[in-house]
Amino acid sequence: MLENLLANLPLDTSKEHFEDLLSAKDVRIERIVSYGQTSPDSFWYDQDEHEWVLVLSGCGTVEFKNGEKHSLECGDFLNIPAHTQHRVSHTATSEATVWLAIFYRD
């Protein structure tokens, strides 16, 4: 079935939306739609899976617990190794930030 990652975006801008697009034994593909949402100030993701993330529209900043920060715009991607503590410290407020996240295991 043909679909488009930028079509049919959720209309509720009061929260972030997570949608699994594909899930298999060692990989999961997710669309995330943010409308200015960020991670809570003291929260850090610490995942068992590696995460490859791509910004399809909008922009966002991924911050790491070691102080490193990466600002991503449309087309930028980042690979985050498993158990690398990180958070989202910024997403666009003037438009939807659409992320494509691929979670995978070795």
What are the residues whose beta carbons fall under 8 Å from the beta carbon of 99, sequence distance 6 or more? 31, 32, 33, 34, 53, 54, 55, 56, 60
Three-state SS annotation for 12-24: CCCCCEEEEEEEC
Which token pair is 28?
């999961």
Q: What is the pLDDT of residue 102?
A: 98
Instruction: Spell out the domains of the chain, with CATH numbers in brackets.
Output: 17-104 (2.60.120.10)
Task: Give the pLDDT confidence of 48-105 residue by residue, as tens digits.
Answer: 999 999 999 999 999 999 999 999 999 999 999 999 999 999 999 999 999 999 999 9
